[in-house]
Amino acid sequence: MNINRYYIIITILALLIGGTLYLGRSTAESNRPISWGVTYSQDFAQKLGLDWRQTYLAILDDLKIKKIRLIARWPEIEPIENGFDWADLDWQVAQAAAQDVKIILAVGHKVPRWPECHQPDWVQDRRTALLEYIEAVVNHYKNNPAIEIWEVENEPFLPFGECPPLDIELLDEEIALVKELDQRPVLLTDSGELSIWVRAASRGDIFGTTMYRWVWNKYLGSYKYPIPPSFFRAKERLARLFVGREKPFIVIELQGEPWTHKQIYEISLQEQLELMPLAEFTDLIDYAKKTGFNEYYLWGVEWWYSLKTQYGHPEYWEYIKHLAESS
């Protein structure tokens, strides 16, 4: 079966199940206690023309975010075989630790930001090199109390990005290796709209879903998912039938920047703001609150800082600053 058709069928089934389970039910209470975090990419900040250290310190000092997802990007950490450069990531971890900010550290071949899969040029035997790399990362950071959670791969079951086909046996080896090396929980993530979550949720100690409303497709262009907040609550209920009720479910990637056929740094400011006007940005946050999760990691912090410092549009940054202060 064509992979795109498969995911369309899965999405339709999930929608039907969600409609059946939650028809007529109210959304979650928006004023409940919620924890807000962000994902930060040094590489993406640099591609936006930002000083990546200044951007990172602004997240900690000005936004005062207390939860952050960082990325152990393989080509930067191990640019040559067995030649590790920890300096930049060590600095990020140390700055977070100094302000009691808790870290999810994403490690593996597929980690956040395009092209999703990141591999040094020297790699020939990916399986062996990847496992050795993950072991090095976990051993390097496992005694650091700021690391709260390990994320092993990013949306491994979603065929997105410039990536080879998923090797499930290798994924399971990666998870087992991390668990063998350290006792902290392992997070597995999956698509919020294009998956039923069971394969990822059953493997991790914590499950993280993405949550996007405005997406882009080469056939449809830019469009908004016609999905009510209760869709995510229904999917969680369905997944828990298979994985147990006690496992935490969080939103690991809540859309907070435009998604189009090009990267943000490849389109004009006008197009950026047309694709994600402030009203849609705030509506995304309101929508997310209604889905019923208690922990959300926002996606797009580098873009908000770029808008504020490079283009004179601080309103996105200030909105999140107020959101974090009020949580």
Residue 306 included in any domain: yes
- In this prediction, residue 261 carries a pLDDT of 94
* CA pair distance 284, 213, nearest whole angstrom: 7
pLDDT at 24 over 50: no
pLDDT at 270 over 70: yes
Residue 5 included in any domain: no
Residue 66 included in any domain: yes
Residues whose CB falls within 8 Å of the CB of residue 199, separated by 6 or more in sequence, listed in order: 157, 190
Residue 316 included in any domain: yes
Residue 265 included in any domain: yes
What is the model's pTM? 0.92
Residue 98 included in any domain: yes
Contact of 66 with 37, CB cutoff 8 Å: yes
Residue 252 included in any domain: yes
- pLDDT tens for 170-190 read 999 999 999 999 999 999 999
Residue 134 included in any domain: yes
- Mean pLDDT, the chain, integer: 92
Residue 165 lies in domain: 34-326
Among 9-23, 43-57, 107-121, the minimum mean pLDDT is found in 9-23
pLDDT at 29 over 80: no
Structural domains of the chain, count: 1
- In this prediction, residue 122 carries a pLDDT of 98
* CATH classification of the domain holding 52: 3.20.20.80
The pLDDT > 70 percentage for the chain reads: 91
